[in-house]
Amino acid sequence: MTSPTTTSSRAVAERPVLLQVRDMTVQFGGVTAVNGLSFDVHEGEVLSVIGPNGAGKTSAFNCITGFYKPSAGTVHFDGADVTGWRPARIAIRGVARTFQNLRLFGELSVLDNVRAGMHVRIKQNAFDAVLHTPRFRRSEQEATDEAHRWLDFVGSHGNRGAEVRNLPYGEQRRVEIARALAREPNMLLLDEPAAGLNHNEKEQLLDLLRRISSLGTSVVLIEHDMGLVMRVSERIVVLNYGKEIADGTPEQIRNDPAVIEAYLGVEDPDEADEADGPDETTDGPSEGGRP
């Protein structure tokens, strides 16, 4: 993935399937967070998963990445049944993620946070590490150089020796993406990467997502910012109360009555228009904010 090669412009559906979710159900006591969810992600695809608060989006991500075990159903990734695998094993297989609430090592430097992302794939011999052999130092230097390259790639140009907890929020989000990319994943899952970003930062994020996709990495995005979702996605899956209610292109989703109803609680967009005031767009899910 380090050598940027643009993916083929073949139609998404013709590309091989990388992730296959089938009949996934997630239950917490009496709450069914995800209810019989099935969808595919193709190689190199940019797919968004959207839906109102509590629809089950993060729970679905947590099952795909091994943080939760689904109560029923399967997850296949890159030809393997990874259902119930531990997060580290799924990460080694080629899945990286970011979190709805940032999970960085606050007291470590920016650079060390990104270097930490590489440890799932860079194997170091304990003997070399203890004795600080030339081979160990060479491998450490390569990891550092690569971490710098990923920070450049995500547009993080601040002090890389600074503790990450002292950075502005938008910058921390970039570092988290750099750390995920340093794993050289086949698929990157991002849980609300635009949350808390200002307009300029969102534009930079849009550009970054496109550049990640052009490396050949599949991008799966949970996002409430519909402007971003509509511009970046090749396909959108919509959840409501844990169930998939639509799967289609941005244009199909924008005009899907079930989606409009889920977001606005009414079937007639004109009715919602009146309820929300004259300036709101009701042509499908709202753009630019949480629905």
Cβ closer to Mg ion: 136 or 241?
A: 241
Nearest to Mg ion by Cβ — which residue? 58
76 or 243: CB nearest ligand ATP: 243
The two most distant CA atoms of the chain are separated, in Å, by 72
> How far from the centroid of its chain's Cα atoms is residue 276's Cα?
30
Nearer to ligand ATP, 28 or 105 (CB): 28
Name which of residues 37 to 96 contact Mg ion (CB under 5 A).
Answer: 58
CB of residue 175 to ligand ATP, shortest distance in Å? 21
For the record, the structure tokens of 269 come out as 């967009």
Region at 180 (left for phi over 0; alpha for psi -120 to 50; beta for the rest):
alpha
Closest contact distance (angstroms) between CB of 32 and ligand ATP is 8
Binding site for ligand ATP (CB under 6 A): 28, 31, 33, 51, 53-59, 100
Give the separation between CA 218 and CA 26, rounded to whole angstroms.
Answer: 24
Site for Mg ion in 92-151 (CB under 5 A): 100
Secondary-structure percent of the chain, ordered helix, strand, coil, rounded to 5: 40, 20, 40
Least distance (Å) between residue 45 CB and ligand ATP: 21
Judged by beta carbon, residue 143 or residue 197, the one nearer ligand ATP is 197
Q: Which does 172 bind (CB under 5 to 8 A by kind): ligand ATP, Mg ion, none?
A: none
DSSP string, 136-167: HHHHHHHHHHHHHHHHHHHT--S-TTSBGGGS
* 60 or 175: CB nearest Mg ion: 60
> Which residues on adjacent β-strands are paired with residue 237?
49, 247
* Residues engaged in binding Mg ion (CB under 5 A): 58, 100
